[in-house]
Amino acid sequence: MAAELTLVGERLGEVRARVRAAALRSGREPDDVTLIAVSKAHSVDTILQAYDAGHRDFGENRAQELAEKAPQLPTDIRWHFVGSLQSRKAKQVRPVAAVLHSLDRESLVDVWARGEGPPPPALVQINLAREPQKGGALPEDAAPLVQYAIDRGVQVDGLMAIPPAPEVEEDSRRWFDELAALRRELAGRFPTLVELSMGMTDDFEVAIEAGSSMIRVGRAIFGPRPTG
């Protein structure tokens, strides 16, 4: 266990150093970028290793997995739900998540808005490449969806995207630039849209250079996901 803890801590430190360098290269403060450690399929013990190394922002993309893990972990963890969310499973995520990154349709807004207390803030997911297998609103539908959410009491803090998997890191830049431009356009009408959730293990440095404020990194911190 001690060796594994050291490895997770070392990987986390390496990612933090890369985040810092990318931020400084682009004239930004490293603290302007939230590093979300995506712990999908990793054990509670593995998550605790990152927690013990000082990390507090974690991401999950399966409702059941988040609901099972969260009660076993410290209460000061800030959970980000970063995966596609079925409306019928939103009630598992809503009491736990600090931020929903994947708001992508009116029916999910309706469910997210219901429940005890104000809903956690959300980011509207955009399907930039119009990939049929992925969730996300089309860019031209972003403004109506943001307005729909606001009208129902859901605070929309920004935009999220999962662009096509890059062959090389630089391939993602066009998509990150497109999302950043869309956020700037929408922010003129919706001033709360300040966040950009974009960038994962294979391209987070380019995402930071393009203006990302939230990066979702799993493999570079935790290693390959367990199988079986």
Q: What is the token pair recorded at 43?
A: 């054990």
Each residue's pLDDT tens digit, 14-65: 999 999 999 999 999 999 999 999 999 999 999 999 999 999 999 999 999 9
Instruction: Match domain 2-222 to its CATH number in 3.20.20.10, 3.40.50.300, 3.30.70.1350, 3.90.550.10.
Output: 3.20.20.10
Spatial contact of 3 and 43, defined as CB atoms under 8 Å apart: no
By the 10 Å C-beta count (0-12 exposed, 13-18 middle, 19+ buried), 119 is classed as buried
Query: Domain locations in the chain?
Result: 2-222
Q: Where are the alpha helices (DSSP H) in 26-172?
A: 44-52, 63-69, 90-93, 106-113, 142-151
pLDDT exceeds 80 at position 131: yes
Model pLDDT, residue 136: 97
pLDDT of residue 130 exceeding 90, the answer is yes
Read off the pLDDT of residues 86-108 as tens digits, 9 standing for 90 and up: 999 999 999 999 999 999 999 99
What is the rounded average pLDDT of the residues 160-169?
A: 92
Element (H, E) at 8: helix 2-25
Q: How confident is the model at residue 115, as a pLDDT? A: 85
Q: What is the DSSP letter of 137?
A: B
